[in-house]
């Protein structure tokens, strides 16, 4: 932990009135292994905007991202799955180990409402975004900080497929195992250019991708999202703040097909999120 950064965050927590004052700022860090899937465990509070969205019985869970004191975003597919199950839904902020209840630093908050993009298409993963409204505001601290949303105009440094961003989730950490990781895991990733992304899917899957997704390059980066990571973050460090470029939408665990992420900077996606 860097003392200067810790001091800055403490000051921000004390004086921040707008989300942009402290969004995307974290103190606790580390370097991941260059692994095939998300096999590096995050240290506690490393990605303080990562949350879990789950049923109270713990029968279904998916990652999400905190973007405000009472707002979380995740995939529409996640919300549809949660709505199909009985029982109340809750969000765990400050989440680290999904198998440990009432773990230190975490807070469990009931969900007030869940909204899916009106043009969500489950067949072609178009508009795969949903907003989860919490029943009360969260209090920010070192382990609970919102992510910054990318603006509608994409960040140039994030659009370059050679630029490394970060993905995280509680999905499978080995493609050959059925078990998901109880501990949040993360890895660097590259983003493919849109033309390359669409050409790969046309060749290997004979499918046409919607406009508001982008590909996570697992070939050159050697790291990949896997099943259970859907709803997890894709963030890029822009001038010291981690900006949310997207959410993992389709985690393929496939050597040929790159995983897909819904593009937060797409106007249709961005406007839906900010209007709720």
Where is average pLDDT lowest: 5-14, 24-33, 247-256, 262-271? 5-14
Query: What's the average model confidence in pLDDT over 228-257?
Result: 86
Highest mean pLDDT among 35-44, 175-184, 226-235: 226-235
Residue with the bigger pLDDT between 219 and 125: it is 125
- Where are any strands of DSSP class E within 221-267? 233-238, 241-250, 259-263
pLDDT reported for residue 162 = 42
pLDDT reported for residue 105 = 87
Q: Is 148 helix (H, G, I), strand (E, B) or coil?
A: strand
Query: What's the average model confidence in pLDDT over 250-258?
Result: 76
pLDDT digits (tens, 9 = 90+) for 33-89: 444 445 478 888 999 999 999 998 666 789 999 999 999 999 999 999 999 998 999
pLDDT reported for residue 34 = 45
pLDDT reported for residue 59 = 67
Instruction: Kindly tell me if the per-residue pLDDT of 242 is higher than 50.
Output: yes
Distance between CA 110 and CA 40 in Å, rounded? 30
Residue with the bigger pLDDT between 251 and 70: it is 70
Instruction: Kindly tell me if the per-residue pLDDT of 117 is higher than 90.
Output: yes
Distance between CA 93 and CA 105 in Å, rounded? 8
Instruction: Kindly tell me if the per-residue pLDDT of 159 is higher than 70.
Output: no
Q: Is 271 helix (H, G, I), strand (E, B) or coil?
A: helix
Instruction: Kindly tell me if the per-residue pLDDT of 137 is higher than 90.
Output: yes
Non-local CB neighbours of 239 within 8 Å, separated by 6+ positions: none
pLDDT reported for residue 266 = 92
45 alpha-carbon distance from chain centroid: 15
Query: What's the average model confidence in pLDDT over 10-27?
Result: 61
pLDDT reported for residue 149 = 93
Residue with the bigger pLDDT between 204 and 249: it is 249
pLDDT reported for residue 178 = 67
Question: In terms of DSSP bridges, do strands 148-149 and 241-250 run parallel, antiparallel, or are they unpaired?
Answer: parallel
Query: What's the average model confidence in pLDDT over 98-107?
Result: 86
Question: pTM of this prediction?
Answer: 0.86
Provide the CATH topology of domain 148-265: Thrombin, subunit H (2.40.10)
Q: Are 104 and 141 in contact (CB under 8 A)?
A: no
Tell me what percent of the residues of the chain surpass a pLDDT of 90: 42
């Amino acid at each position: 932990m860097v003392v200067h950064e810790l001091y800055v965050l403490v000051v921000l927590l004390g004086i921040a009135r707008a989300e942009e004052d402290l969004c995307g700022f974290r103190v606790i860090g580390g370097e991941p292994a260059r692994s095939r899937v998300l096999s590096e465990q995050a240290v506690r509070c490393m990605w303080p905007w990562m949350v879990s969205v789950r049923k109270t019985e713990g029968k279904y869970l998916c990652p999400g991202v905190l973007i405000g004191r009472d707002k979380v975003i995740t995939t529409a597919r996640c919300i549809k799955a949660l709505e199909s199950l009985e029982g109340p839904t809750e969000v765990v902020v400050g989440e680290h180990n999904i198998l440990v209840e009432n773990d230190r630093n975490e807070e469990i908050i009931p969900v007030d409402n869940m909204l899916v993009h009106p043009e969500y298409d489950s067949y072609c993963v178009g508009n795969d975004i949903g907003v989860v409204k919490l029943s009360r505001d969260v209090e920010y601290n070192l382990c609970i900080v919102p992510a910054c949303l990318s603006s509608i105009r994409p960040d140039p440094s994030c659009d370059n497929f050679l630029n490394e961003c970060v993905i995280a989730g509680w999905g499978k950490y080995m493609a050959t195992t059925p078990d998901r990781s109880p501990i949040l895991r993360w890895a660097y990733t590259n983003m493919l250019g849109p033309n390359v992304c669409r050409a790969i899917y046309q060749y290997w899957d004979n499918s046409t991708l919607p406009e508001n997704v982008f590909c996570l390059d697992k070939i050159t980066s050697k790291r990949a999202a896997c099943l259970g990571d859907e709803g997890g973050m894709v963030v890029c460090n822009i001038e010291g703040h981690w900006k949310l470029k997207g959410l993992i939408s389709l985690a393929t665990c496939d050597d040929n097909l790159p995983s897909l992420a819904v593009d937060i900077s797409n106007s249709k996606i961005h406007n839906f999120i900010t209007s709720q």
